[in-house]
Structure 1
C-alpha cells in the first residue's frame, strides 16, 4: 500500500541478515526508505517472519504450463529436446486467448507462491490456430497481461522475433505458423504494450534463437531499437545440436557469432547459455550481457549442465527462469542449479567462494538477486531505495527453518526445506499471498481446471 511502513525483526539487506529493519513504501509503490537498527515504531506493520527480497523469473513460456507433467513418457527409442518440442507444438496449436488467460493466471499465482513477483514472458504464441492474425494482433499478449493483472504479478512482455525453422531454412514449418513475426511486427508490439499504461506491465523485445532469427532479421530489429534502454532476450546454446548447426552454417559457435557479429551489451539476456567455451564466457563477460539459467527445465529436457564456475568467476550477471514451468519456485531452481554441478563435478558446494562467500546458497541467491533487474528492464531490484516494494516474509516455523541459526537460514531454505515456506508475498507494497493463498485462488484454479479438461479431456494425450 502507498505510504505503508513495515517493520521486520530481521531482513536480508545488503547481502546479510540485519535486525530491526524499517521498510517504507512511497506513493509510487517503490521503496522510499529502508533503515536497519530501528526499534518498532508506532504505526508500522510488524511482519511475522524474516524478510527476503523476491526474485524476477527472467524466462517464461506461460502456455507451456498446460503441458507440464504431460511429456514424461517415452514410446520410441529416443526422447530428447527435439522430440519434446514437436509434442509441445501440438499444445501451442490449440490454445485460444481465453484459455491462455486462464493458464497464465494459474501460472502467475503459482510463481508468486514460489517467491517470484515479476515474470519475463518470452512470448511467441501470437496468431490464430490457422496462422492468420487476430483482429487485434496482440490478443494473446493482452490475455497474458490480464492474467498477471488478475493476480497482481509484475509482467515484462517480450514479443519474439520468430521467422525461420532453422539456420538454412528461409521459412517456418507448418506447425510453427502461430509464431511468425518480423522485426517491424515486434517493434510495433513492444511500442503498443508500453503505451497501454497498464500497472505492473512493461515490454522489451526477444529473438527466438539464431536458428529462428537470422542475421538480417536481428540487424533490422537492432536498427529499430537503437539506443532505447530495454531488455533484449535470446535463446542461445541450449542444445549441442544447435551448436553443431551454427558451426556448420557460420563457422562459429552461437555465443561466439553473437558477440562477434551483433555486439551485445548490458541490455542483452542470453537464455540458457548451457554449452559454452572459456573463450565465449570471456566474450560475454566483456560485452556486459547477462545469462538466464533455467535449471529445472534444462534438467527436464536433458539439455546439459552450464559451466557455473566459469560464469561466476567471470562475473557475468545471472538470473533464473522457470521456462517450461516444470518447476515454479526459485528455491527449487537454485537447489537444482547447485546439485546439478555437484553431480557433474563430483564435489560439494560448487558455487561457494571460500573466504568471500563460503555459503553456496547465499552466493547463488545474491547472484540471482543482483541479476534480477536487467532482464525485466528495471534499474533497481530488491530491498533498495527506488526499487519496487516487493518482498517475501518467511515462515520461521516452516520445514527446514525451525531452530536453524540465523547465519544458516538461507542454507537451510535452499538445501534443507520443503513445502510452503512463505508466510506472505508482497508486490508494490500490497500483500498478494497470505499463508500461501491468494484471494482469487479458487476462481483461478477452477478456470484452469476447465481449460485443462478441454485441452486434454482427462487423457493427457
Structure 2
C-alpha cells in the first residue's frame, strides 16, 4: 500500500471549450483558468492559447455520492435465480459470504478499478460509504483505519476526489439484534467507531486538500437512537445514512421505534443540509415533502435499486417540493453516470405510465436531472463544486458533441441527448479538482490499475 501526496496548490492549467455550461447558462469559446485546483477565471468568446487543453463541450462534473467499492468485484455473480423468491435479503447473504474473503490488498485494487471507471464515466468525486473495517471473523487490524487507508491509497492513485464516510454498524437488525457472522467485519460499538474515525481523520492528511471525511451511521436498523446521538456529537462534515430502502426495513423500524424510519429520523434528529439520506425509497407523501423541506440530499442509486428490486423513489412529489438529490453507483454493478440518470427518469415513467416526468412545469428533463444531480452531489460530498464558476473546485468533464449520438442536437437539447441517447463513451476528458486524469476517454492509470485488479480478482476467486 502506498499513498502519494499530491499537493493541490501545484495544480494549474487552462481549458478552452468550444461550448461550456456555466452557472449562467451556455457560452461559447470559453477559457477556464485553474490554479490550486480552483477555477480562478472564466473568459467567454476567448481565443484558444497554445498551452490550453482544447475540448468540445465542458460541463460541471458530477459527484458519485454513494459507493461500496468492494462490491464491484461481485458484479454479475448474483444474477442466477435460486429456488423461491430472490430479494435484497438473499443478495445480501451472498454479498456477506463474498466479502468475508477479501484481503486489504484486494480491497485497494478493487477500489482503484472502481475509481478509474467512475472517472471515465464522468464522475469527478466519490462518497465511499465504507463499512468493512476488520479482519475475517471481526478481529481488529493493528491500525483500526487499515482498510480506510486502502481506500485512501486507491483515491490517491487515481486522483478522484474523495469524501470518506466511515460507517457505524453495531447491530444485526432493528431492536439491537446481535451481529450475524457475515456482519462481524463491519461491527463497532460507539467507542470503537470513534477510535476508527480519529485514525481515519489522521490519515486524511496524506491526500489532496480537497479530500473530505464525514460519518455514516449505516441505518436505523444497524444502530440505536442512543448510539446515533452519540456519534452525531462528533460529526463535523457530511452525514450519510441508508434509510427506507426495503418494505421489511420500514416495517421493522416502525414496530421497534413506533414510527416509519424517515418519519422517526426527521422528528428525532436535526436533519439539515449536511445530511444525505440514501435511497429513501419507501416514503409516504408527507414524509417526502418533509424530507425535501430539510435541505438534505436524497442519495439515489437507480441502477442498484433496480438491480436489487428496491422500487422507485417518489421523485414527482420530491422535486415538486424542491428537494435536493444526487446519484451514486452503490453496489457498482454497472458504473455509468448516464445510466443512473436515465434509470431515475425511466423508473418514474414505468410507474406512472407517463413521459418526461421529473420536470416541474415545462423544460428539459436531461438538463434538470444533470444540473440537479451536479448540485446535490457536491452538497452531499461537502465539495465546493457542482457548477462551472469562479472560485469553485475544477471538477469538470468534457464530452464530444460531434459524436453520432449527439451531433444532430442543439445546445439546449445536448443534455437530453447525453442522458437519454448517448452513453459514457462520449466523455473525452475529466478533471478532479484540476487533476486531469481522463484524456481521450481513458484514465491515465488504466493499464496499471486493470493489471492489479485482474491479479487481485484471480487470487480472490482461487480462495473461494
Q: TM-score, normalised by structure 2?
A: 0.94
Aligned length: 452
In structure 1, which of residues 30, 33, 37 is the aligned counterpart of residue 38 of structure 2? 30
Whether 1:345 aligns to 2:352 is yes
Sort the Cα spacing of 1:368 and 1:201 in 2 relative to 1 into closer, same or farther, 3 A. Answer: same
**SS where residue 79 of structure 1 aligns?**
coil
Please say if residues 338 and 424 of structure 2, whose CA atoms lie closer than 8 Å, have aligned partners that are also in contact.
no
The residue aligned with 1:390 is: 395
**In structure 2, C-alpha distance between the alignment counterparts of 1:80 and 1:326, rounded to whole Å:** 16
Q: CA deviation at 1:22?
A: 1.7
**In structure 2, C-alpha distance between the alignment counterparts of 1:370 and 1:427, rounded to whole Å:** 15
**In structure 1, C-alpha distance between the alignment counterparts of 2:404 and 2:254, rounded to whole Å:** 48
**In structure 2, C-alpha distance between the alignment counterparts of 1:153 and 1:216, rounded to whole Å:** 35
The residue aligned with 2:5 is: none
Alignment of 1:131-210 (within 5 A): 131-196=138-203, 197=205, 198-199=207-208, 200-210=210-220
**In structure 2, C-alpha distance between the alignment counterparts of 1:41 and 1:397, rounded to whole Å:** 19
Q: CA deviation at 1:187?
A: 3.4
The residue aligned with 1:212 is: 222
The residue aligned with 1:295 is: 302
Please say if residues 384 and 393 of structure 2, whose CA atoms lie closer than 8 Å, have aligned partners that are also in contact.
no
**SS where residue 126 of structure 2 aligns?**
strand
**In structure 1, C-alpha distance between the alignment counterparts of 2:53 and 2:183, rounded to whole Å:** 52
Alignment of 1:327-406 (within 5 A): 327-355=334-362, 358-406=363-411
The residue aligned with 2:105 is: 98
**SS where residue 49 of structure 1 aligns?**
strand
Please say if residues 14 and 51 of structure 2, whose CA atoms lie closer than 8 Å, have aligned partners that are also in contact.
yes
Alignment of 1:238-253 (within 5 A): 238-253=245-260
Sort the Cα spacing of 1:184 and 1:20 in 2 relative to 1 into closer, same or farther, 3 A. Answer: farther
- What 5-or-longer segments of structure 1 have no aligned partner? none
The residue aligned with 1:417 is: 422
CA-atom RMSD, angstroms?
1.7
The residue aligned with 1:51 is: 58
Sort the Cα spacing of 1:302 and 1:157 in 2 relative to 1 into closer, same or farther, 3 A. Answer: same
> In terms of mean alpha carbon deviation, does 230-239 or 150-159 score higher?
150-159
> In terms of mean alpha carbon deviation, does 258-267 or 448-457 score higher?
448-457
Whether 1:318 aligns to 2:325 is yes
Q: CA deviation at 1:15?
A: 5.9
Q: CA deviation at 1:288?
A: 2.2
**In structure 1, C-alpha distance between the alignment counterparts of 2:240 and 2:171, rounded to whole Å:** 17
Whether 1:439 aligns to 2:444 is yes
Please say if residues 353 and 360 of structure 1, whose CA atoms lie closer than 8 Å, have aligned partners that are also in contact.
no
Q: CA deviation at 1:353?
A: 3.1
In structure 1, which of residues 426, 448, 452 is the aligned counterpart of residue 453 of structure 2? 448
Q: CA deviation at 1:74?
A: 0.9
| CA deviation string 1:295-315 (max 9, x = no partner) | 000000000011001111111
The residue aligned with 2:21 is: 12
**In structure 2, C-alpha distance between the alignment counterparts of 1:3 and 1:454, rounded to whole Å:** 40
**In structure 1, C-alpha distance between the alignment counterparts of 2:46 and 2:98, rounded to whole Å:** 54
Q: CA deviation at 1:374?
A: 2.0
Please say if residues 385 and 395 of structure 2, whose CA atoms lie closer than 8 Å, have aligned partners that are also in contact.
no
